[in-house]
């Protein structure tokens, strides 16, 4: 237990330049508090208890603003930055070295029973306000852009942005060619497929207008 807490603290120093001291992290980081309390709640949940783990998760929610169902499976190295409004559902699974920003939802759809929440792979970055809804997998090393709504599986080593979420290639470079041993936290540097489509339409309109001018000039001659 203490070795995992030590690793959680180390992860925060690796990914948050604002962290200045161990005591600051231990006392002032709600993401760390939420993860520790979730592990305690998950322990009782696995023992078949119902009320105690739910009470622990509710206390954690009141204290941190982060709601993690006791049934959710959380890997090592999870970093929840700021965290207010984060919701992780009962059957959600989160891999190792995942980074989640404020307002993220790992939710389910409908009233179906069984596996109804997403499975998030290793080294995934989920940006602020992203909603991942449904029982599917987000592959290893994926990045989800801020405000995206994802309802379909996400392949490994890809970036998804938009509503609904679409797989895109960042800066014209195949994500698979990037060194994935380092978690890429530059979630502000993502392409905008809607803006790119508008630019393509604008260029097409410009070409058509130019062609019309050429044709009208030919007729006048």
Would you say residue 181 has pLDDT above 60? Answer: no
Lowest mean pLDDT among 111-115, 121-125, 215-219: 215-219
Q: What is the CATH code of the structural domain delimited by 2-190?
A: 2.160.10.10
Closest CA to 88 of 110, 111, 65: 65
Which DSSP string corresponds to 8-28? HHHHHHHH-TT---HHHHHHH
**What pTM, to 2 d.p., does this model score?**
0.74
Domain boundaries, the chain: 2-190, 191-221
pLDDT tens-digit series, residues 17-66:
888 999 999 999 999 999 999 999 999 999 999 899 999 999 999 999 99
The span from the CA of 59 to the CA of 33, in Å, is: 11
CA torsion, points 69, 91, 104, 179, in degrees to nearest 10? 130
From CA 29, how far away is CA 83, in angstroms rounded?
Answer: 9
Assign 132 to helix, strand or coil.
strand
């Amino acid at each position: 237990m203490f070795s995992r807490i030590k690793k959680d603290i180390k992860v925060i120093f690796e990914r948050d330049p604002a962290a200045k001291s161990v005591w600051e992290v231990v006392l002032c980081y709600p993401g760390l508090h939420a993860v520790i309390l979730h592990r305690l709640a998950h322990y009782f949940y696995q023992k078949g208890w119902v009320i105690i783990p739910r009470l622990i998760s509710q206390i954690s929610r009141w204290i941190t603003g982060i709601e993690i169902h006791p049934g959710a499976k959380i890997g090592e190295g999870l970093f929840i930055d700021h965290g207010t409004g984060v919701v992780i559902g009962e059957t959600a699974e989160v891999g190792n070295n995942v980074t989640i920003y404020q307002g993220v939802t790992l939710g389910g759809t409908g009233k179906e029973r069984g596996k109804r929440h997403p499975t998030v792979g290793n080294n995934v970055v989920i940006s602020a306000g992203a909603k991942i809804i449904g029982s599917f997998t987000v592959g290893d090393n994926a990045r989800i852009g801020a405000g995206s709504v994802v309802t379909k599986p996400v392949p490994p080593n890809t970036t998804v942005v938009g509503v609904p979420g679409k797989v895109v290639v960042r800066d014209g470079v195949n994500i698979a060619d990037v060194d994935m041993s380092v978690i890429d936290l530059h979630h502000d540097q993502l392409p905008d497929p809607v803006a790119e489509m508008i630019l393509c339409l604008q260029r097409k309109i410009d070409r058509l207008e130019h062609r019309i001018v050429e044709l009208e000039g030919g007729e006048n001659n």
